[in-house]
Amino acid sequence: MSGNGVHGVHGALQLLRSLPKVSLANLRPNPGSKKPERRRGRGRYRGRKCGRGHKGERQRGNRPRLGFEGGQTPFYLSIPKYGFNEGHSCRRKYHPLSLQKLQYLIDLGRVDPTQPIDLTQLTNARGVTVQPLKRDYGVQLVEEGADIFAAKINIEVQRASELAIAAIEKNGGVVTASFYDPRSLEILIRPVPFFLRGQPIPKRMLPPEDLVRYYTDASNRGYLADPSKVAEARLELAKKYGYTLPDITKDELFKMLSTRKDPRQIFFGLAPGWIVNMADKKILKPTDERLLKYYSS
Amino acid sequence: MEGGGGSSWGVHSVCQTPPRDPPPYPAVVESTEEFHFVERLLPPACVPSPPQHPSYPTPSGWIPPRVPPPALPYHVGRSRMHNLPLYRRVANGNRRITELRRIRGDIWALEKELREFVGQRVGKQPLTQVNELSGTLRLKGHVDNEVRAWLLLKGF
């Protein structure tokens, strides 16, 4: 193909220009590449009974249904039912986010470690894709990459494993586990379409009964847990995994690291009840007493 | 239209009373102080360029392309997300292929060098398929670690 003259792409394009138009008349497969298949019922050996066997249900095409075992209780009926998948469509799902991926996003500048990291930031960076309509309730931190993790961040996820919390706190960061009900989650991951609707930012709902225990536990860094107990839990975790807990109060980014959302707040800095006007770049706040009382409860 | 005397439905005529005042809506306060929080929520319009790091590779193992690009008869460009255009493909569960895309220039020279390098590392030179028009190179087997090492050696 590559002669003395043109090579590569130029050669290929020259060929395209000089050769006649491709049509069915001048296309054919490479000789020897397409061998005719052996068909059933043709020839001396594949003819005669045509691969159907000798007499009986096989030759006459009257075999019983799939799974029938000649009258013996078939396997699929002899095993009792058990609800392995019962309620699978109601179960809460948390998309995993490994520390390796988080470090990769920070290294490539898609996630800003100098600002608090939220599910909105992670979605904007295309690090995770959350589908609230598929019963996704958020993101969980997973340990993969705990040994290479080296970033000081203030991250808010929905669940975090113990080793992942330890890895982040070892580098001087802060982890919080917080709950978002499906409506708030949809707003959190797609804030712009929500603002364009012109509706006031709703209150974030509190977790359901079975999750209250998880989010009030300091060892999970739940957002409803007692802050003093959280501090104790940080020390305990440091002792368990054998690292010295860096003092964040002396850090220059302490203010950013200690930023937390109110349990009823969806976005940082924006309170429930406000309407965001994207076109005029303004925020409208209610003044009616009843509305203020409702939104601040 | 005013219902006259002949209306059999007993419909009232059009309301003659003047329209009532609209209900008093509560006032609204406008502010632009907190709008910078909204700006933080907006997704970026394009893929951000990676920041400068003091040393490479970064903790996650990423290495940027060499600047200026190496003076070779071929060039392998980075993907949109600033990664090497190296992909593993599996067909029918058992056919393993490593694909290198975004190749420009003399693809045959690149193929020869890469084949020899991978052959030294693995023990046997892999079979290759070159597509000059699209600038892609396929190698038989999952040899992406070796190809990645070669690409980073060259500085792509």
B44/A108 CB distance under 8 A: no
List CB contacts (< 8 A) between A109 and chain B: 48-51
Residue of A100, A124, A285 with shortest CB distance to B31? A285
Q: Distances in Å between the alpha carbon of B57 and those of B8, B54, B150?
A: 90, 10, 15
**pLDDT confidence of residue B10:** 54
Q: What pLDDT is stored for residue B9 in this prediction?
A: 59
Which of A9, A115, A192 has the CB atom closest to B40's CB atom? Answer: A115
Q: Does the distance separating the beta carbons of A283 and B31 come in below 8 Å?
A: yes
List the structure tokens of B95.
């056919």
Nearest chain B residue (CA) to A104: B60
* Residues from chain B contacting residue A17 (CB–CB below 8 Å): none
Nearest residue on chain A to B61, alpha-carbon basis: A104
Residue A232 lies in a domain: yes
**What is the per-residue pLDDT across A191-204, written as a single tens digit (0 to 9) for each?**
999 999 999 999 99
Which of B34, B59, B107 lies at the smallest CB-CB distance from A103?
B59
Residues in A touching B23 (Cβ below 8 Å): none
Residues of A in contact with B82 (CB under 8 A): 108
- Residue A6 included in any domain: no
What share of chain A has pLDDT > 90, as a percent?
90
Query: Chain A residue with minimal CA distance to B28?
Result: A286
Model pLDDT for residues A270-280, shown as the tens digit of each residue: 999 999 999 99
Checking phi first, is residue A97 left (phi over 0); if not, alpha (psi -120 to 50) or beta? Answer: beta
In the prediction, which pLDDT does A67 show?
95
Report if residue A221 sits inside a domain.
yes
| pLDDT confidence tier of residue A4, bands split at 50, 70 and 90 | low
pLDDT of residue A3: 46
Question: Taking CB atoms and an 8 Å limit, are A151 and B81 in contact across chains?
Answer: no
Residue A293 has what pLDDT?
94
Asked if ipTM goes beyond 0.85, one says no
- Tell me the pLDDT of chain A averaged across its residues: 94
Average pLDDT, chain B: 89
Domain count within chain A: 1
pLDDT at A250 over 70: yes
Chain B residues with CB under 8 Å of A115 CB are 40
pTM of the full structure: 0.85
Q: Is residue A99 part of a domain?
A: yes
Q: Is B59's CB within 8 Å of A281's CB?
A: no
Mean pLDDT confidence for A229-244? 96
* Closest CB to B50 among A7, A107, A268: A107
Who has greater pLDDT, A296 or B18?
A: A296
**For residue B14, what pLDDT is reported?**
63
Q: Considering only residues 185 to 204 of chain A, which have any Cβ-Cβ distance to chain B shorter than 8 Å?
A: 191-192, 195
Candidate from B40, B82, B132 with C-beta closest to A9: B132
In this structure, what token pair is assigned to residue A148? 């290479």
pLDDT at A286: 92
Residue A113, pLDDT score: 95
Two tokens at A256?
A: 């950013």
pLDDT at A251 over 50: yes
What mean pLDDT comes out for the span A29-38? Answer: 95
User: pLDDT of B109-149, one tens digit each?
Assistant: 999 999 999 999 999 999 999 998 899 999 999 999 999 99
pLDDT given at position B13? 58
Query: Cβ contacts of residue A158 below 8 Å, gap of 6+?
Result: A94, A119, A137, A138, A139, A140, A177, A178, A179, A180
Return residues 79-118 of A near B (CB < 8 Å).
100, 103-104, 106-110, 115
Q: In what order do the strands lie in the sheet with B86-91?
A: B86-91, B95-100, B136-140, B128-131
Grade residue B19 by pLDDT with cuts at 50, 70 and 90: confident
- The answer to whether residue A69 is domain-embedded is no
| B30-86 confidence digits (pLDDT tens) | 888 899 999 999 999 999 999 999 999 999 999 999 999 999 999 999 999 999 999
- Strand pairing category for B28-31 and B74-76: unpaired
Set of chain A residues whose Cβ sits within 8 Å of the Cβ of B43: 123-124, 192
Question: 3-class secondary structure for B1-17?
Answer: CCCCCCCCCCCCCCCCC
Min Cα separation A189/chain B (Å): 9
> Is residue B8's pLDDT more than 80?
no
Interchain contact A223–B (C-beta under 8 A): no
Instruction: Determine the average pLDDT of the residues in B10-16.
Output: 59
- Segment A126-132 shows an average pLDDT of 96
Q: What 3-state DSSP class applies to A211?
A: helix
- Per-residue pLDDT band for A1 (boundaries 50, 70, 90) equals very low
> How many CB pairs (< 8 A) connect A and B?
103
Establish if A291 belongs to a structural domain: no
Q: Which domain holds residue A190?
A: 93-270
- The answer to whether the CB atoms of B132 and A115 lie below 8 A apart is no
- Residues of B (10-49) whose Cβ lies below 8 Å from A: 26-32, 34-38, 40-44, 47-49
Contact A269 B37 (CB under 8 A): yes
> What CATH number has the domain bearing residue A109?
3.100.10.10
Q: Is residue A284 part of a domain?
A: no
Output phi, psi for A257, to 5 deg. Answer: -70, -25
**For residue A109, what is the nearest residue in chain B, using CA coordinates?**
B50
Instruction: Note the pLDDT tens digit of each residue in A56-81.
Output: 999 999 999 999 999 999 999 999 99
| Interchain CB distance below 8 Å, A282 and B32 | yes
Mapped onto helix, strand or coil, the DSSP state of residue B59 is coil
Q: Is residue A161 part of a domain?
A: yes
